[in-house]
């Protein structure tokens, strides 16, 4: 057996630790593994071209950006913040928890495209979370703002990841079924998808617990950051 | 029939227009290479199916090196003052949300309904990739509606979008390159080698060692490849099937589900999963590019432990 292609994996691990640019790491790793496996440069280029062309759909989210551009120039984020500030009962904790639950449930029903980082987090969720924090605790500083935004993005990811696997027609479920079928184990997608439910519940409990902690410590974090900043002269 | 290619043509034209704006952006110290990056990417969208694969490969390497070699930078973008935005928002109010909601709702409608629509016997949307086609279509409809409602000029909207694109930079192409890498790793037989190394090096006759090897292997490989999908066949065929199912008699259904979901915990912790972890940092204008990963680690680690316990329990039930 030819062990040399493992050098490709090694390059990724080293690149990780040395914090090289991931694009560079991936190109180096692919070239190394390919050459080690005896592929010619022409074969490697062909493989690269075919793979890239086939997977262009992964970048199609860029088409949402001009829509955001037009709306944000017209105050979409400001409107989101104003709307949320009129809903006093929607605190930061409740907003994020409700979003997590809805994202998980809709993903489990196959409605993955209802949310997303470009579609909902940037234009709607993040501004609402910030607006809600301001309604509760007054003006927030850049550090708290960054943390709230990162947490909004994280909540969307967690909700998506641990919801979609319950949906029977989801790619991952079909992949599992397909691989088992190739190896002589016949399973219905439903049999696999149902086993995603315990993890979905665990993910909701763990992440909503962290949201509660974030919300409880928010006031203190806001006050602390504001007191560090130089006062008005 | 509307196919993925039509959406790619729109994306290609959009990227070329972005490149043209970037080319003229005197505020960008690397305006030429930045414009070249988006322009060449636009060409892969426009002509990807006509250019022979080997030349496409060369083009992809050039695009990759432009990104990896520090050729991308942000420039200056015409902005609207906070006050002007507030005033316009006060005028348009809730209507501003409509185009933002059109995107997910129409994507959904397209996926569920348009798939079955035929016009004089011809399907409206190609049967493959309906979600991506619907998303593209939804974006175009939302864009036209947003322009009509806000009276923002096309060029200005694309300028604002360019500020986001430039912030995303190399992260926009990383998922594509990782998909390519997955293909090359496959051809190089890395999965088999890795599985062989693991099975000879570890005492897999103990069920809990095998569970740990499979689960942690999924996490590690998902972190390396940026997604659990690439890791799943390798570790399932390499460890889960021969050792856990055939030797230890594990129930295959929960094994697969929990193996995949354990891998997802790895996806939450890696910059390689650029779409989920790095692009949002740019979209949300975060100072720390790893801020989203940091926010996720303390959910991912306990959940990973949870999954391993669940796996050990449920597969031998």
Query: Which residue of A8, A50, A116 is in closest CB contact with B185?
Result: A8
Q: What does the radius of gyration of chain A's CA atoms come to, in whole angstroms?
A: 23
Range A174-199 burial, b when 16+ CB lie within 10 A, else e: ebbbebbeeeeeeeebebbbebbebb
Cβ-Cβ contacts under 8 Å for A15 (sequence gap 6 or more): A22, A24, A25, A28, A29
Specify the pLDDT at position A174. Answer: 82
Q: Residue A97: is its pLDDT beyond 80?
A: yes
For an interface test with A, give the residue of B150, B188, B192 to mutate (most A CBs within 10 A). B188
CB atoms within 10 A of CB A217: 11
Residue B64 has which token pair?
A: 């990759």
Contact B269, B300 (CB under 8 A): yes
Cβ-Cβ contacts under 8 Å for A232 (sequence gap 6 or more): none
Angle at A20 between CA A17 and CA A21, to 5 degrees: 135
Contact A173, A189 (CB under 8 A): yes
Specify the pLDDT at position A197. Answer: 94
Can you say whether the dihedral through the CA atoms of A141, A143, A144, A149 is positive or negative?
positive
Give the tens place of pLDDT for each residue, B132-174.
888 899 999 999 999 999 999 999 999 999 999 999 999 999 9
Average pLDDT over every residue of A104-112: 86
Give the tens place of pLDDT for each residue, B227-239.
898 889 888 988 8
Q: Residue B31: is its pLDDT beyond 90?
A: yes
For chain B, give the mean pLDDT: 92
Specify the pLDDT at position B184. Answer: 92
Q: For residue B237, what is the DSSP state?
A: I
Cβ of residue B86 closer than 8 Å to a chain A Cβ: yes
For chain A, give the mean pLDDT: 91
Specify the pLDDT at position A232. Answer: 55
| 3-state helix vs strand vs coil in chain B, percent to 5 | 75, 0, 20
Contact B110, B130 (CB under 8 A): yes
Most distant CA atoms of chain B, gap in Å: 69
Q: Minimal Cα distance from B307: which residue of A?
A: A199
Specify the pLDDT at position A1. Answer: 77
Give the tens place of pLDDT for each residue, A163-198.
988 887 677 888 888 888 888 898 888 888 899 999
Specify the pLDDT at position A111. Answer: 79
Specify the pLDDT at position B190. Answer: 86
CA dihedral A199, A203, A204, A208 (to 10 degrees): 160
- CA distance linking residue B77 with residue B285, whole number of Å: 15
Specify the pLDDT at position A19. Answer: 85
Q: Residue B127: is its pLDDT beyond 80?
A: no
| Residue A83 exposure: Cα atoms within 13 Å on the Cβ side | 21
Size of interface A-B (CB pairs under 8 A): 426
- CA distance linking residue B314 with residue B71, whole number of Å: 50
| Better-predicted residue by pLDDT, A211 or B128 | A211
Residue A23 has which token pair?
A: 């694009």
Contact A133, A214 (CB under 8 A): no
Average pLDDT over every residue of A95-103: 96
B261 Ramachandran zone, left/alpha/beta (phi>0; psi -120 to 50) = alpha
Cβ of residue B309 closer than 8 Å to a chain A Cβ: no
Asked if B85 and A61 come within 8 Å (Cβ–Cβ), the reply is no
Give the tens place of pLDDT for each residue, B187-205.
898 888 888 888 889 999 9
A86 φ, ψ to 5°?
-85, -10
B281 φ, ψ to 5°?
-60, -40
Range B130-160 burial, b when 16+ CB lie within 10 A, else e: bbbbbbbbbbbbbbebbbebbebeeebbbbb
Give the tens place of pLDDT for each residue, B270-296.
999 999 999 999 999 999 999 999 999
Q: Residue A231: is its pLDDT beyond 70?
A: no
Specify the pLDDT at position B68. Answer: 92
Average pLDDT over every residue of A63-91: 90
- CA distance linking residue B76 with residue A178, whole number of Å: 49
Q: What does the radius of gyration of chain B's CA atoms come to, in whole angstroms?
A: 23
**pTM (2 d.p.):** 0.89
Q: For residue B219, what is the DSSP state?
A: H
Cβ of residue B158 closer than 8 Å to a chain A Cβ: yes
Query: Which residue of B157, B190, B261 is in closest CB contact with A199?
Result: B261
Asked if B188 and A33 come within 8 Å (Cβ–Cβ), the reply is yes
Specify the pLDDT at position A170. Answer: 73
Query: Which residue of A48, A64, A206 is in closest CB contact with B303?
Result: A206
Angle at A215 between CA A210 and CA A219, to 5 degrees: 140
Residue listed under structure tokens 């496959």: B186
Specify the pLDDT at position B130. Answer: 81
Q: Residue A233: is its pLDDT beyond 60?
A: no
Specify the pLDDT at position B267. Answer: 97
Looking at the complex, report in whole angstroms how far the Cα of residue A131 sits from the nearest Cα belonging to chain B: 14
Give the tens place of pLDDT for each residue, A81-95.
888 888 888 899 999
- The 3-class secondary structure across chain A, one letter per residue, is CCCCCHHHHHHHHHHHHHCCCHHHHHHHHHHHHHHHCCCCHHHHHHHHHHHHHHCHHHHHHHHHHHHHHHHHHCCHHHHHHHHHHCCCCCCHHHHHHHHHHHHHHHHHCCCHHHCCHHHHHHHHHHHHHHHHHHHHHCCCCHHHHHHHHHHHHHHHHHHHHHHHCCCCCCHHHHHHHHHHHHCCCCCCHHHHHHCCHHHHHHHHHHHHHHHHHHHHHHHHHHHHHHHHCCCCC
Q: For residue B2, what is the DSSP state?
A: B
Q: Residue A131: is its pLDDT beyond 90?
A: yes
Q: Tell me: ipTM over 0.95.
A: no
Is residue A108 exposed (0-12), middle (13-18) or buried (19+ Cβ within 10 Å)? buried
B125 φ, ψ to 5°?
-120, 140
Is residue A167 exposed (0-12), middle (13-18) or buried (19+ Cβ within 10 Å)? buried
Q: CA nearest A7: which of A37, A46, A44, A40? A: A37
Give the tens place of pLDDT for each residue, A133-143.
999 999 999 99
Q: Residue B175: is its pLDDT beyond 80?
A: yes
| Better-predicted residue by pLDDT, A190 or B6 | B6
């Amino acid at each position: 057996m030819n062990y040399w292609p493992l050098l490709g994996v090694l390059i990724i691990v080293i690149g990780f630790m040395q914090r090289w640019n991931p694009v560079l790491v991936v190109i180096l790793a692919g070239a190394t593994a390919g050459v080690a496996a005896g592929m010619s440069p022409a074969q490697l280029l062909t493989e690269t071209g075919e793979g890239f062309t086939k997977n262009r759909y992964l970048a199609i989210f860029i088409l949402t950006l001009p829509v955001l551009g037009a709306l944000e120039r017209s105050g979409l984020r400001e409107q989101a913040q104003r709307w949320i500030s009129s809903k006093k009962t929607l605190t930061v904790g409740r907003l994020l928890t409700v979003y997590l639950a809805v994202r998980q449930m809709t993903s489990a029903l196959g409605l993955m495209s209802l949310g997303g980082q470009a579609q909902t987090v940037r234009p709607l969720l993040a501004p609402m979370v910030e607006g809600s924090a301001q309604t509760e605790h007054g003006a927030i500083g850049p550090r708290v703002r960054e943390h709230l935004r990162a947490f909004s993005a994280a909540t969307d990811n967690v909700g998506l990841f641990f919801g979609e696997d319950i949906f029977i027609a989801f790619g991952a479920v079909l992949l599992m079924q397909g691989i088992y079928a190739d190896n002589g184990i016949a399973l219905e997608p439903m049999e696999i998808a149902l086993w995603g439910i315990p993890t979905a519940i665990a993910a909701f409990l763990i992440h909503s617990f962290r949201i509660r902690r974030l919300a409880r410590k928010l006031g203190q974090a806001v006050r602390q950051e504001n007191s560090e900043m130089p006062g008005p002269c | 029939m509307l196919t993925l290619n039509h959406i790619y043509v729109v994306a290609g034209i959009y990227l070329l227009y972005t490149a043209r704006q970037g080319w003229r952006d005197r505020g960008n110290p690397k305006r030429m290479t930045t414009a070249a990056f988006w322009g060449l990417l636009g060409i892969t969208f426009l002509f990807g199916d006509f250019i022979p694969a080997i030349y496409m490969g060369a083009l992809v390497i050039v695009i990759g090196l432009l990104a990896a070699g520090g050729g991308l930078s942000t420039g200056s973008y015409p902005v609207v003052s906070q006050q002007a935005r507030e005033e316009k928002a006060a005028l348009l109010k809730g209507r501003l949300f409509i185009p933002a909601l059109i995107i997910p709702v129409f994507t959904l409608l397209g996926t569920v309904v348009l798939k079955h629509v035929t016009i004089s016997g011809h399907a409206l949307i190609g049967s493959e990739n309906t979600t991506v086609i619907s998303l593209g279509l939804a974006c175009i409809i939302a864009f036209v509606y947003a322009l009509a409602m806000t009276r923002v000029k096309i060029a200005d909207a694309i300028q604002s979008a360019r500020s986001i694109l430039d912030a995303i930079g190399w992260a926009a192409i990383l998922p594509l390159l990782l998909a390519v890498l997955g293909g090359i790793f496959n051809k190089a037989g890395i999965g088999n080698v890795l599985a062989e190394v693991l099975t000879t090096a570890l005492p897999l006759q103990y069920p809990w060692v095998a569970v740990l090897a499979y689960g942690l292997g999924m996490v590690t490989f998902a972190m390396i490849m940026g997604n659990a999908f690439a890791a799943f066949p390798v570790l399932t065929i390499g460890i889960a099937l021969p050792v856990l199912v055939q030797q230890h008699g594990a129930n295959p259904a929960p094994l697969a589900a929990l193996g995949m979901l354990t891998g997802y915990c790895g996806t939450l912790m890696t910059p390689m999963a650029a779409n989920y972890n790095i692009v949002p940092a740019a979209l949300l204008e975060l100072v720390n590019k790893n801020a989203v990963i940091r926010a996720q680690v303390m959910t991912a680690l306990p959940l990973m432990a949870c999954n391993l316990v669940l796996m050990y329990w449920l597969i031998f039930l």
